[in-house]
Structure formats: C-alpha cells, structure tokens
Chains A and B, each alone.
Chain A
C-alpha cells in the first residue's frame, strides 16, 4: 500500500512571488482598465455607461476614423516587420550558423547591439541620419550619384510610417536572429550528417531539413512580433511626437491611446475613452494570439530527437 503522495508545498511557494508580482502590476491594472472603459465622467464622479464608450469609439466618425487609421497603420507596421525583419533575421542566423564563417561572434554581437539601445537614442540618431539639413543620408546618396532618390522621408505622409518601421526593423532584427540561431544550433549533427549521406547539402539542406525543424521558433517569433508591434509606441513618440505626424500618417494604436488617455497640449486627458481604446487593443492582441495558438501552433509538426 503506497502512501499518498504528500502535497508538494514547494510548488506554490516557488510560484508565489511571480504570481503575486504579476497579479499586482499586470492583472489587476488590466482588469481595472477594462472595468474603467465601461464608465464615463458623470455629474459627481464616474457613471456606469456600459458599452457606450465603445459605441463612441466605433460609431462616431471622428473617433472611428482615427481608430481605423491607427489600426491600419499598425497592421502595415506589423507587415513590414514580418516581411523584412523576420526573413532577414532567419537569413542572418543561417549565415551565422555556418561553421566556416569567421568572426561569427563579432557579427552576432554587432547585429544584436541596437536591440539593447534605448528607443530615445535610436529615434534621435535616425532622425539625425535622415535629416535633410544635417543628416549624412543626403550626402551619402550624393556621393554615389543617387541624390535624386533622397526625400525628407520622415516628413512625407507616404514614406514616414515605412521609414519608421524599417528603423524599428534595424533595431530589433537581432531578436529573431538570436532565437533562430539558437534553434539552428540545437539541430543534432546526426540529422545533418544523415542528410549529407543522402546528398542533401547547402541551400537545399536549409530548405528541406533545417527550416522545417525551426518552424516552431519562427511561429514564436511571429507572435512576439505581433504583440510587440501592436503595443508599440516609443519609437513613434520619440521620432514624431504624440501627434504622430505628418498628418497622423504614423499614428498607431499606442500613440492614439497615449493622446487620448493622458491628453496632449491643450487637450485634457480622457481616461475613460483611453481605457476603451486600451480595451480594444487588448481585444485585438487577444484575437491575434488565439488565432496563432489554435489555428497555427497546434498544426505545427514537432520533431523529437
């Protein structure tokens, strides 16, 4: 007769600090914000208004235009990251994991360094580089005879958002690179040797053997990019200010939320509508993550070595 397993106290004890801190600074504020989005300023204090704030956000053309504009810009911001940042990150990781590459550690560090820089520095440095007055971009283009290609990118509606997205890609390309690099290193040599025995080498080895093995990592990177992009705010705020100029062409959900919640210049803050926007952002991210979790991740084939 086996004795009943004793309750494993160490599990709750070890979990407690993380759970408590996470609850206090993430979960309670999150539900507080969601709750606040159901209220609005009344005669004496906050009145419960149900979903009226959301009705305003999606129904009133002034609010909904700004919201859809921000959401559209945010989607484009995400698309640029998915199409540029992640493929480049994977390519860099594939190159870095080639055993014959010299100074791999140097490249790895150099490419990763922008990731640890502050947004303020990145935004400021790039604004200076691209500045039509003091920047080195016009001079460099001039030196190779391509001056006609230069435009004040950050000041033009049609280019500003893409420029900022590419700056963000430059900053964060190190993250997918590192994650994929780690995944590539964890592929056992036996698998690769077996492939070589079968005559699969070089590029076809990457496409046929390595890529399927790192697909789960690519999935994780995609979802991290998605969450990161839809919560983005800092770079736009630093480079273009809270009004996300020119003419709101770089306005994403984060800057829209900031302007509404905290107010700007003569505009006093409106925490209730701000909470409604935060609630909508939470919903969008939740839906995106759920699509990934249930639609994609469960179908990914995993390999055990």
Chain B
C-alpha cells in the first residue's frame, strides 16, 4: 500500500516537473541558514512577477561550499545561479570560465564601484556577480550600562578611552568583550574596524595595493598602537577567551562594549535582555571625516554554461533591483544591501549601522583584495599580528614590520 503511494508520488513529480514550469533556475549557495527566508519570502516575491520561471534554492554547508561548487562546475552539474564569495575565490571561477561576465546587466548601474570591487577583475573591466550584501563594522554597546554610568556615546578616541576608563573604574562591567583565542576578532573587529579612520579608507587601501604606502607607514601602525591599549580593558584571561565567550559575555550583560560586525544583530536581538546601541569607530578629533569598514560579503553570479541564461539574467536583474534589496535587508538584519537606493529597515540597530554610510565613507577590509593572494597570506598574518599586539607579546612596530616584510616577499608593487 505504502509502496504504491510512493510510486504514484514519484511518477507524479516526474510528470509534473517539466509540465509546471518552462524554466527552472537552481541557486547554489552556502547560506543554508537562509533557506526558509528564500523559500518563504524571496522566491515567492520573484515568482509573483515571473510565474514562468521557477527558482530552487539549493544550499550546501558553508565549509563544503567552495569544494563542492568547484567539482560541480568542473563536472557540469552546477546550478544556473552561483552565490559568490568575495574576491579571489570567485575571481578564480571567472578566470576558469565558470562564471559569466555580467558587466552588461542593467542592474549593475545600481551599485557603486566599491560595492562591485569584490567581484571584478583586477582592472575592473568585467564584473561577474551582482552584489547582494555587505557587513559593517563598529561597536555595539549596552545602552542600559551607559545610562547607569552616565556615559555619552563616544565619537572621538579620547571620549572612547575616557568611557572605557570610567567603566573600568566603576567595576560592574567588563569594559570591552573581546578575546584573542580565536585570533580573527582581533584583526576583523579590531584592526580592520578602527583602521580605516587612520588610513583614510579607500585612499589608503588602494595606495597599499599600488605600492605607494607601506604597512610600516604611520597610518598603518597607528591602529596597532590603539589596539595595544585595548588590553587593559578586556576581561580577565582574555587570552583564552573565544569568540562565543565574547558574544555571551556581552549578551549576558557582563560587558559594556562589544567590537562588532553587523552580522551579530539578529543573534544579539534574540539573546540580549537590555537595550543596545551602536557607534562607529571613533575618530581622532570631533568633526574629522570618518571611515567605516563596509565589507562586501555576498553576491550572486551566473554559471557560464547554464542552459537557462536568459531566465537567469531576468532573475539577476531582479536581484539588482531596490525591491530585492528591501526584502533581503529586512529578512536578514545586519546584512546590508549594497544597492545605491537607500533601503528602509525596521531594526533600530541595523538602522544605526547603516546610517553611518551617510556620514562616513565606506571601505572594505584592507587585506582582502589582491593582497592575500600569496604566501605568507596577509589576512592570516594580520590575525596573528593583531592578537599578538593586543596581548602585548609583539610591539605595534614589530608587527607592522613583519606584515610588511611578508607582503614584500611576494607582492611585486611592495618590493
């Protein structure tokens, strides 16, 4: 009985499959956390406008995505739409002819050059993925604690350290929740969070790529000097504190300030029982122009060998539209649309983060484009150097010199 049902069901799907839709697009992605959001919100919105195109979201586990995608592309069994990692991973796919050139797509006009830089050839002549979202760095703070201690939200570095001193003197909160055990927070939420204010965002980042600035220049060493001062404000035994430890310390209300990436927003909203606020990395003096790390993180491209290229382009045009941007940014607060059209977001914390885009200039993490292509890998070395500087086992100058020597050992413009 059961078996006949199953057979009937199988036969049914086999027959109904091709009859239901003319074109079926399959999306490859590593965002398996977002499966329900795609199925319940994003895909139905698209299909209400394009009933002739059926879209299937088929994610893989994040850790396996790159390897699984590469083998599927090589075997010719990959889906029509490919979710793109930023920079070299996707650039390699484009160079190998797996991703189609999408420069001609009308929706590309909706994105700034910084937004597109993560999915372009080095000379910027071809763009091969439509940018979807970025994450912004800054500091999330416990608003209740700030109120209790009478601290105003800091905008300059002096105010920032004065606030930290005050929290420390009071003693009821750990001033800042960060550990160096996992290393990456020190680089991502530390160095690349506060750094853009020193190296003037894109200006410094591009100069470094061109070889006009060095990591040993004052603008690149100074953020390390500031990081070295953080040590006194971290919790006891921060050397063995992991990333989840820091998250828990903050959401349990034991720490006052959390050096953050905006991806934390939805998790923190669910966990924290107090009011939260956010501030951008403080600048040297009031009124200085500010720079934020607005890091391009996720995009979507087209399989160059897709038989449904026309339908895929229709979908990609839609992904580049303000409508998609609003849907995506509200479904996943903390993943901000890269679309030039401003998106209205409901989440107050997300609104605060995204408001910095109007006041400050955006840049991306300094180590991601081109500079982490060789051995030693600049991004991974920066993790190690930032953690060492915070722990005080390496001076800011030594750390910067080591990074510069490593980069110069393989990167032509820095030799």
Q: Which residues of A come within 8 Å of B, CB atoms?
A: 62, 127, 130-134, 138, 151-157, 240-241, 243, 245-248, 264-268, 270
Measured in the bound complex, the distance between the Cα atoms of B240 and A130 in whole Å is 9
Interface of chain B, helix or strand or loop or mixed? loop
Of the candidate stretches B199-207, B344-352, B377-385, the one touching chain A is: B377-385
Residues of B within 8 A of A133 (CB): 235-237, 241, 245, 249
- Is the pair A265, B380 in contact by a Cβ cutoff of 8 Å? yes
Indicate if B397 sits at the interface (CB-CB under 8 A).
no
Q: Which residue of B lies closest to A130 (CB)?
A: B240
What is the size category of the interface that chain B forms with chain A? 35 or more
Indicate if B197 sits at the interface (CB-CB under 8 A).
no
Total A-B Cβ pairs within 8 A: 99
Q: Which residue of A lies closest to B177 (CB)?
A: A133
Given A132-B237, A133-B235, A266–B379 Cβ distance below 8 Å? yes
Q: What is the minimal beta-carbon distance from B228 to any residue of chain A, in angstroms?
A: 15
Q: What is the minimal beta-carbon distance from B198 to any residue of chain A, in angstroms?
A: 22
- Is the pair A246, B377 in contact by a Cβ cutoff of 8 Å? no
- Is the pair B379, A131 in contact by a Cβ cutoff of 8 Å? no
Residues of A within 8 A of B87 (CB): 266
- Is the pair A154, B181 in contact by a Cβ cutoff of 8 Å? yes
Indicate if B242 sits at the interface (CB-CB under 8 A).
yes
Interface of chain A, helix or strand or loop or mixed? loop
Given A243-B380, A243-B384, A245-B181, A266–B237 Cβ distance below 8 Å? no
Measured in the bound complex, the distance between the Cα atoms of B138 and A240 in whole Å is 26
- Is the pair B182, A155 in contact by a Cβ cutoff of 8 Å? no
- Is the pair A243, B183 in contact by a Cβ cutoff of 8 Å? yes
Residues of A within 8 A of B196 (CB): none
Q: What is the minimal beta-carbon distance from A136 to any residue of chain B, in angstroms?
A: 14
- Is the pair B406, A267 in contact by a Cβ cutoff of 8 Å? no
Given A243-B380, A245-B181, A270-B375, A152–B238 Cβ distance below 8 Å? yes
Indicate if B213 sits at the interface (CB-CB under 8 A).
no
Please provide the 4 A-B residue pairs with the shortest distance between their CB atoms, ordered closest to farther: A132-B237, A155-B239, A155-B240, A152-B240
Q: Which residue of B lies closest to A247 (CB)?
A: B388
Indicate if B259 sits at the interface (CB-CB under 8 A).
no
- Is the pair B183, A241 in contact by a Cβ cutoff of 8 Å? yes
- Is the pair A132, B183 in contact by a Cβ cutoff of 8 Å? no
Indicate if B137 sits at the interface (CB-CB under 8 A).
no
Indicate if B372 sits at the interface (CB-CB under 8 A).
yes
Q: Which residue of B lies closest to A127 (CB)?
A: B242
Q: Which residues of B come within 8 Å of A, CB atoms?
A: 87-89, 92, 179-184, 235-242, 245, 249, 367-368, 372, 375-377, 379-380, 383-384, 387-388, 391, 393-394, 406, 409
Q: What is the minimal beta-carbon distance from B236 to any residue of chain A, in angstroms?
A: 6
- Is the pair A62, B409 in contact by a Cβ cutoff of 8 Å? yes
- Is the pair B377, A132 in contact by a Cβ cutoff of 8 Å? no
Measured in the bound complex, the distance between the Cα atoms of B242 and A131 in whole Å is 9
- Is the pair A247, B241 in contact by a Cβ cutoff of 8 Å? no
Between-chain CB contacts (< 8 Å), 10 pairs: A132-B238, A155-B180, A155-B181, A155-B238, A243-B383, A247-B384, A247-B394, A266-B377, A267-B379, A267-B380
- Is the pair B240, A266 in contact by a Cβ cutoff of 8 Å? no
- Is the pair B375, A156 in contact by a Cβ cutoff of 8 Å? no
Measured in the bound complex, the distance between the Cα atoms of B391 and A154 in whole Å is 13
| Other-chain contact of B375, A62, A132, A155, A248 (Cβ < 8 Å) | A62
- Is the pair A245, B387 in contact by a Cβ cutoff of 8 Å? yes
- Is the pair A157, B183 in contact by a Cβ cutoff of 8 Å? no
Measured in the bound complex, the distance between the Cα atoms of B383 and A264 in whole Å is 12
Measured in the bound complex, the distance between the Cα atoms of B409 and A240 in whole Å is 28
Measured in the bound complex, the distance between the Cα atoms of B184 and A243 in whole Å is 10
| Other-chain contact of A155, B89, B92, B184, B241 (Cβ < 8 Å) | B241
Measured in the bound complex, the distance between the Cα atoms of B180 and A46 in whole Å is 39
Measured in the bound complex, the distance between the Cα atoms of B240 and A132 in whole Å is 7
Measured in the bound complex, the distance between the Cα atoms of B406 and A62 in whole Å is 8
Residues of B within 8 A of A151 (CB): 237
Q: Which residue of A lies closest to B405 (CB)?
A: A62
Measured in the bound complex, the distance between the Cα atoms of B78 and A177 in whole Å is 52
Q: What is the minimal beta-carbon distance from B186 to any residue of chain A, in angstroms?
A: 10
Residues of B within 8 A of A127 (CB): 240, 242
Residues of B within 8 A of A157 (CB): 393
- Is the pair A134, B379 in contact by a Cβ cutoff of 8 Å? no
Measured in the bound complex, the distance between the Cα atoms of B57 and A31 in whole Å is 41
Interface centre among A62, A243, A247, A266 (most CB of B within 10 A): A266
- Is the pair A266, B380 in contact by a Cβ cutoff of 8 Å? yes
Q: What is the minimal beta-carbon distance from A216 to any residue of chain B, in angstroms?
A: 42
Residues of B within 8 A of A240 (CB): 181
- Is the pair A155, B237 in contact by a Cβ cutoff of 8 Å? yes
Q: What is the minimal beta-carbon distance from A97 to any residue of chain B, in angstroms?
A: 39
- Is the pair A267, B372 in contact by a Cβ cutoff of 8 Å? yes
Q: Which residue of B lies closest to A262 (CB)?
A: B67
- Is the pair A247, B387 in contact by a Cβ cutoff of 8 Å? yes
| Other-chain contact of A266, B249, B368, B384, B388 (Cβ < 8 Å) | B368
Residues of A within 8 A of B391 (CB): 155, 246
Q: What is the minimal beta-carbon distance from A249 to any residue of chain B, in angstroms?
A: 10
